[in-house]
Amino acid sequence: MFTGIVEEIGTVVSVHRGAKSSSLTVQGSLIFEDMRIGDSIAVNGVCLTVTDRTAHTFTADVMAETLRRSSLGTLSTGSLVNMERAMAADGRFGGHMVSGHIDGTGEIESFVREDNAVWVTIKASERLLRYVIEKGSIAIDGISLTVAYVDNRCFKVSLIPHTAGNTTLPGKKAGDIVNLENDVVGKYIDKLLHFEQDRSEPESGGISMDFLAQNGFV
């Protein structure tokens, strides 16, 4: 579990691509203080497991499903990435609950400066936008941000100077792809609201008591 408060910007030092998967090696400094093999690190919001490490680099495997769901497949040597260690039990919860399990990607449409802030507009699919609410939270490349506007094709966030200065988002441009993770609470609520409806539908063509009642047989 993460909070979406980026600890450090790292640099990709190597990418080894397989037939459907890949392996990333990332360089940094701050997050290596207590890192161990097997630890979870959020890289641009994607939860990865440390498989090897040196004093200032760590390596993680990226499976095919992760490449399909995220933008990690676009990374190359020299790419900058947001990094965050898993939340400590005795730490402050500064952002929101971020699992590191990406729901999909969005496309940056524009950056517009407003005094000391920068508005970022991101286009996303209807499947992702259904869980985005105004003044709710969303993780963009692992950054916990507050949604300031949303409609049926895009949403907007506003970056404060601290976020702009300590994450990779301001370095991107219109057309770039970013990883999106919806607020997990909204996804659970949606599942629970539709649970009875889903359960009442016959499974694999089977007959249930609800199905018989709905069709006048009982």
* pLDDT of res. 153: 97
**Based on the structure, what is the number of domains in the chain?**
2
Residue 169 lies in domain? 104-193
Classify residue 23: in a domain, yes or no.
yes
Query: For the purposes of burial, counting CB atoms within 10 Å of the CB of 139, is it exposed (0-12), middle (13-18) or buried (19 or more)?
Result: buried
108 and 53 share one domain: no
Contact 38, 49 (CB under 8 A): yes
183 and 113 share one domain: yes
Classify residue 26: in a domain, yes or no.
yes
* pLDDT of res. 43: 98
Classify residue 35: in a domain, yes or no.
yes
Phi, psi (deg, nearest 5) at residue 185? -60, -45
DSSP string, 72-88: GGG--TT-EEEEEEPPP
Positions in the chain short of pLDDT 50: none
pLDDT tens for 79-122 read 999 999 999 877 777 888 899 999 999 999 999 999 999 999 99
> Which residues are 8's β-sheet partners?
83
Classify residue 217: in a domain, yes or no.
no
* Cα–Cα distance measured from residue 200 to residue 47, given in angstroms and rounded to the nearest whole number: 35
Q: Which of the 8 DSSP states describes residue 109? A: E
* pLDDT of res. 193: 84
Q: Is the pTM of this model over 0.95?
A: no
* Cα–Cα distance measured from residue 191 to residue 182, given in angstroms and rounded to the nearest whole number: 14
115 and 187 share one domain: yes
Helix (H) or strand (E) holding 139: strand 137-140
* pLDDT of res. 197: 65
* pLDDT of res. 211: 58
Classify residue 209: in a domain, yes or no.
no
53 and 133 share one domain: no
Classify residue 200: in a domain, yes or no.
no
* Cα–Cα distance measured from residue 89 to residue 212, given in angstroms and rounded to the nearest whole number: 50
Contact 183, 138 (CB under 8 A): yes
